[in-house]
Amino acid sequence: MKNKDLQPLIETKDLVKKFGAFTALNGVSIDIFPGEVHALLGDNGAGKSTLIKTLSGVHPATSGQILVEGKQVHFSSPRDASDAGIGTVYQDLALNALTSVTRNFFLGRELVFGKGPFGILKMNEMHEIAVAEMAKIGINISDPEQAVGTMSGGQRQTLAIARAIYFGAKVLILDEPTSALGQRQQMEVLKTIRTVQQLGNIAIILITHNEIHARLVANRFTFLSLGEVIGRGMAKDLEGDDIKRLMAGGAEIGDLAKELAI
Ligand SMILES: Nc1ncnc2c1ncn2[C@@H]1O[C@H](COP(=O)(O)OP(=O)(O)OP(=O)(O)O)[C@@H](O)[C@H]1O
Ligand SMILES: [Mg+2]
């Protein structure tokens, strides 16, 4: 997927994030290309969430640069990041279980006839868009008026992803999207990720602690440990225990076995 003629959609250069005296990111440089699923892996506390919160405008960087399509950006709010095409799907998905699929799809960005608070919602058009956008990434919803609470966890993830894409996300950030789901629903989400990957123009940053999931869908990997990049590579170049070892912070498997011994 990586091609030197292709410009990264998003890039960080020497990104540093400090919380008081504590350095959570210590000079992180990564690049994310269109059409790739980029697994961002590392042990607890490695800095994965801090990195994506910095990319999504939640935390200002202490120093370093973020570039979107080659241009440096400064995000002072999540809104700035989403306007620049960075769509973050958080674990709680920001969905309202009691309202319909369509209402959740548009949530604050409804289509209306007329202006002002008394405009009339274009409900039919909104239903059609919600159903069509979700179908594009592989979920067929027969009733867009059904409450989100009646959908499976996997379908909800897909709704959140379809919504982010429809509203302009070029980079989708998924922070542990499968961690709260059962086996079948995990597969649904991985399938959705695959489908988005095949669209070819959107990049996905996937954070997971599940090595198998990362192997199943990722084209490229970046491994973080204690705020630094300790490894990176294309899926095909990582072999044997590489992924496991780097996910654990770079220790040798033998060292891990020693840690386990009591
Ligand atoms: N708001 C904050 N204030 C102070 N320290 C923080 C803050 N957010 C994160 N940290 C610290 O930064 C480090 C990296 O945390 P982060 O949440 O980015 O790790 P992570 O890789 O996402 O871990 P996990 O796999 O457990 O989600 C941790 O040591 C954490 O305690
Ligand atoms: Mg985290």
User: DSSP for 84-116?
Assistant: TTEEEE-TTTT--TTSBHHHHHHTT---EESSS
Domain 10-94+168-260 annotated CATH 3.40.50.300: yes
Burial 183-218 (b: 16+ CB within 10 A, else e): eebbebbbbbbeebbeeeebbbbbbbebeebbebbb
- Whether 21 is in the pocket of ligand 1, judged by its Cβ within 6 Å, is no
pLDDT of residue 259: 65
Residue found under tokens 């996910």: 247
CA of 46 to the centre of ligand 1 (A): 7
Orientation of helix 183-199 relative to helix 153-166, angle to 10°: 20
**Domain range list for the chain:** 10-94+168-260
φ and ψ of 16, to 5 deg: -120, 135
The pLDDT mean for the chain works out to 88
Per-residue pLDDT for 3 more than 80?
Answer: no
CA of 88 to the centre of ligand 2 (A): 13
Q: What's the rounded Cα separation, in Å, for the pair 96 and 163?
A: 14
User: What count of Cα atoms within 13 Å lies in the side-chain half-sphere of residue 143?
Assistant: 8
Query: What is the identity of the amino acid at 42?
Result: G
- Whether 45 is in the pocket of ligand 1, judged by its Cβ within 6 Å, is yes
pLDDT of residue 253: 58
Per-residue pLDDT for 14 more than 90?
Answer: yes
CA trace torsion 5, 11, 14, 20 (10° rounding): 180
- Whether 22 is in the pocket of ligand 1, judged by its Cβ within 6 Å, is yes
Q: pLDDT of 190-229, one tens digit each?
A: 999 999 999 999 999 999 999 999 999 999 999 999 999 9
Residue found under tokens 């695959």: 194
Q: What is the percentage of the chain residues whose pLDDT exceeds 90?
A: 56
pTM: 0.89
Q: Which residues pair with 206 in a beta bridge?
A: 39, 174
Q: pLDDT of 97-137, one tens digit each?
A: 888 999 899 887 777 777 766 667 788 888 999 999 999 98
Relative to beta strand 63-68, strand 203-207 is unpaired
pLDDT of residue 238: 84
